[in-house]
Structure 1
Amino acid sequence: MRGKGKQIIKRSVDICGAMIGLTLSSILFLIIPILIKLDSPGPVFYVQKRIGLNRRRKERRQDFLKVKKERRNSDRRRINLYGKPFSLYKFRTMRDGAEKKSGPIWASPNDPRVTKVGKILRATNIDELPQLFNILKGDMSLVGPRPERPSFVSEFVKRIPDYSERLTVKPGLTGKAQVNCGSDYSFEDVKNKLKYDLDYVRNGSLTTDLGIIAKTFWMMFNGRGDI
C-alpha cells in the first residue's frame, strides 16, 4: 500500500484496530500473566529484537550495534540490518532462557522448550496479543509480512532472491503468507511464504487488509491457530 494518503488511512486503521483489540482482550491481560507465572518461573512477557521497515526502501540500512570486547570498553562495528530493529512483545511461551545456550534456532511443531500454558497460547495465537502495543508504537501494522530476527534476515537476504523487498512495508501482526501457509519451520517454508509476502507488498490495499484480517479470525475461531 503506497502513497501518502493510503499510508495515513492504513495507519488510522492500525490504531483503531489495536485499540479495539486491546479493549476486547483486556481481561486476557489480567488472566494470562497469572497462568504463566503459575506454570513456570520467569517473566510474563518475552521481548525479542526483530527487523522492521526499511525506510530507505530497497537500499540496505546501515546501523551500529555495540559489541562488548574483553578487557576493552564497548566498541562499535558497522553491520547491515536491512531494516529498522525494534523490540517485539509476546507473552512468554518458552521456558525462561531457553535460547541462551542454543542461540536463535527454528521453532518446531512439538518444541520441548514450550511450556504447558505456552502450547495453548501458541495454538490460539494469544501469545501475539502484546504486539498490539507494537502497532500503537508504529513498529508494526495489523497486516504485513511477519518480522524476523536480525540473524535470520541477514541469512535470508543473502540466500533468497527479492527477500529484502518484504522489508519495504511495515511488518504485520498477521499477513497474506500467514493465512495461506501458517508458521514456518524450515528454510523451504520461508521460500514458499515469500511469494505471498511479495504479492502483498506489490499489490496490497485496504481491501486486501480487511480480507486478511477476516480470514485470520475465521481460522482462529475454526481451530486453525497455526498462523
Structure 2
Amino acid sequence: WLTSFYNPPIFGIIFGIISLPIILIFAILIKLTSKGPVFFRQERVGYMGKPIVITKLRSMRNDAEKKTGAVWATKDDPRVTPVGKFMRKTRVDELPQFWSIIKGDMSLVGPRPERFVLTEKFTEKWPNFPQRLRIIPGLTGYAQIHGGYDLKPNEKCKLDNYYIDNYSLGFDFKIAFETLKIIVTGDGAR
C-alpha cells in the first residue's frame, strides 16, 4: 500500500503552471548574479532505488563540489550564492521539481531523494537509511518542515520513517500546509 499514496499528476501540472513566473524571475536573478547555468540537474535515488533526475534552480556556485565531491549541505553552507540563500530559505529552488511530479518520479509529499553516493555512505552507518525508499520521494516532507539543512542524516532518516509509518492523507495535507507557511514567511526554513 505504500506505493499507492494519493498523488495525481494534476497537482504537479497546476502548481507547475502557477510557479512558472516565479521560476522565470529567479532564473533572471541567477543569471545576473552568478556564473553558470540557471538549472541544476542531479541524479538521485528514487522509489525502491530507481535512479531519477531532479531539476532545481541553481542555488550554489557552479563549482560547488569541484574540490570536495559530494558532501551533505549545511545550514550556513559557504557554497550557496546570495540569491541561493533566499531561494533555499523560501524553497523556491525546488519549484522546477514539479516536472518530476508530472513524470511520476516524485510526489508532492514524501522523503526527499538523496544522491546515490550519500545514500551508500549513510547506509553503512545507519542500516535503516534505505527504508526511506519504500515510497516515492517527495518535493517536501516531514523532515523538511522539522529541520531542513540543520538535520543530520540519521535524524532525517528517523523523521522520514516516522512519516512512512504514520502516513495518512491528512498528514500529507498538514505537511503541505506547513511547507506553504515556510515558503510565504521563511519561518522555520534553514
TM-score after normalising by structure 2: 0.92
Secondary structure at the counterpart of residue 108 of structure 2: strand
1:116 paired to 2:82:
yes
Which deviates more, 134-143 or 112-121?
112-121
Deviation for aligned residue 1:217: 1.0
Select which of 156, 166, 169 maps to 1:193. 156
Q: Deviations over 1:144-180 (max 9, x none)?
A: 0111111110011121132111101011111111112
Secondary structure at the counterpart of residue 26 of structure 1: helix
Give the 5 Å matches for 1:75-224: 83-184=49-150, 189-224=152-187
Q: Deviations over 1:83-135 (max 9, x none)?
A: 01111110011111221221011222222222121111111110000111111
Which deviates more, 23-32 or 171-180?
23-32
CA distance in 2, matches of 1:169, 1:28: 29
CA distance in 1, matches of 2:79, 2:14: 32
CA distance in 2, matches of 1:87, 1:133: 10
Secondary structure at the counterpart of residue 84 of structure 2: helix
Secondary structure at the counterpart of residue 129 of structure 1: helix
**Percent identity (aligned):** 45
Q: 5+ unaligned residues in a row in structure 2: which ranges?
A: none
CA distance in 1, matches of 2:75, 2:149: 9
CA distance in 2, matches of 1:190, 1:106: 8
Aligned to 1:51: 45
Q: Does the CA-based 8 Å contact 1:125-1:225 persist in structure 2?
A: no
- Please say which structure displays the higher CA radius of gyration: 1
- Cα distance change, pair 28–87 in 1 and its aligned pair in 2 (3 A): same
Secondary structure at the counterpart of residue 27 of structure 1: helix
Aligned to 1:10: 6
Q: Which structure is higher in helix share?
A: 2
Secondary structure at the counterpart of residue 105 of structure 1: coil
- Cα distance change, pair 181–225 in 1 and its aligned pair in 2 (3 A): closer
Which deviates more, 15-24 or 30-39?
15-24
| AA matched with 2:46 | G
TM-score after normalising by structure 1: 0.78
RMSD: 1.8
- Cα distance change, pair 101–148 in 1 and its aligned pair in 2 (3 A): same
What is the number of equivalent residue pairs in this alignment? 190
Which deviates more, 174-183 or 119-128?
174-183
